[in-house]
Structure 1
Amino acid sequence: AKRIAAETPLLWKSEGQSATMTCNHTKNFDYTQMYWYQQLPGQKIKQIVFTAPTTQHTYESGFSKERFPATKNSYETGSLTVEKLVPGDSGVYFCAVSKHSDAGGLKSCTNTQTMVSQ
């Protein structure tokens, strides 16, 4: 079963601003790893970054820590920011958590619709 946690359901932002999404979960402290995903309209979901409190964040190709800074300071919370927004960033952003590197046990936390206007 998926565990739904605190959500930021809809963000309206203007071009050039930044958008920060937070993810919290109520699972136990084994669930330290957090994944962030982006789904643009009509496209498949793409993983942006893998984060964990004690290791360096791992960004997927096409995403950078300058443009998509993420935080993971405690086991139960994390955040993703999209800097210097452009209309093409409008889409849905997801967060999921897992324990260790067991991606098979991913639990979905958030689903944030982000709209960027010119």
Structure 2
Amino acid sequence: MFTFLFTVTVSLLCAAGLVEGSEVTQTPTILWGPKDSDAQMNCSHSKDSSYYQMYWYRQLPGEGMKQVVFIIPSSQPDYSGGFSKDKFSASKAVAESGAFTVKKLETGDSGMYFCAVSEHSDTDNKYSCTKTPVFQQDVT
């Protein structure tokens, strides 16, 4: 029995008065992998290089959104809450793009994954972002 992870990228405007969601993009539009494999999502933006901070969030079905990791170019990821590098990895070599990986896919990984970029870490500031819903399907 194989478990596959499917994702679709949907643009989302996080708050009024900011750039359109189309300025931040997650790829690929369809992502899947067998159970215990890794799944990588990429995020890029068309804002200028002052938007160098990247956040990755996860929202499981029936739950609120939770920040998984924060990263800036050429730095180590800063994980939030109970999230760790054992399950997730994030990388960011340049201001305009970064990557996020869910390691060793399992049923509990099904949910929505969001990428957000920020010019600075002021938490009162709103971010432009996209979201990636993650669905799991068992195939026999």
Tell me whether the two structures share a fold, i.e. TM-score over 0.5.
Answer: yes
1:106 to 2:119 alignment: no
How many residue pairs match? The answer is 117
**Partner SS state of residue 33, structure 2:** strand
Offset at residue 93 of structure 1 (A)? 0.2
Identity, in percent, stands at: 45
What's 2:105 paired with?
85
Rounded to whole Å, the distance in 2 between the matches of 1:80 and 1:55 is 14
In the alignment, is the contact (CA less than 8 A) between 1:14 and 1:117 conserved in 2? no
Amino acid at match of 2:37: Q
Offset at residue 115 of structure 1 (A)? 2.4
Deviations 1:17-42 (A, max 9, x none): 11100000000110000000001111
Unaligned runs of 5+ in 2: 1-17
Rounded to whole Å, the distance in 2 between the matches of 1:71 and 1:78 is 6
Q: What is the TM-score with the length of structure 1 in the denominator?
A: 0.89
**Partner SS state of residue 67, structure 2:** strand
What's 2:9 paired with?
none
Rounded to whole Å, the distance in 2 between the matches of 1:116 and 1:14 is 10
Q: RMSD across aligned C-alpha pairs, in angstroms?
A: 1.6
**Partner SS state of residue 38, structure 1:** strand
Unaligned runs of 5+ in 1: none
In the alignment, is the contact (CA less than 8 A) between 1:37 and 1:94 conserved in 2? yes
What's 2:117 paired with?
97
Amino acid at match of 1:107: S
Q: What is the TM-score with the length of structure 2 in the denominator?
A: 0.76
Offset at residue 57 of structure 1 (A)? 1.6
Higher Rg of the two aligned structures: 2
Amino acid at match of 1:112: T
Structure 2 matches for 1:34-113, cutoff 5 A?
34-103=54-123, 104-108=125-129, 110-113=130-133
Rounded to whole Å, the distance in 2 between the matches of 1:63 and 1:78 is 18
Deviations 1:63-83 (A, max 9, x none): 111210100110000010000
**Partner SS state of residue 14, structure 1:** coil
Offset at residue 54 of structure 1 (A)? 4.3
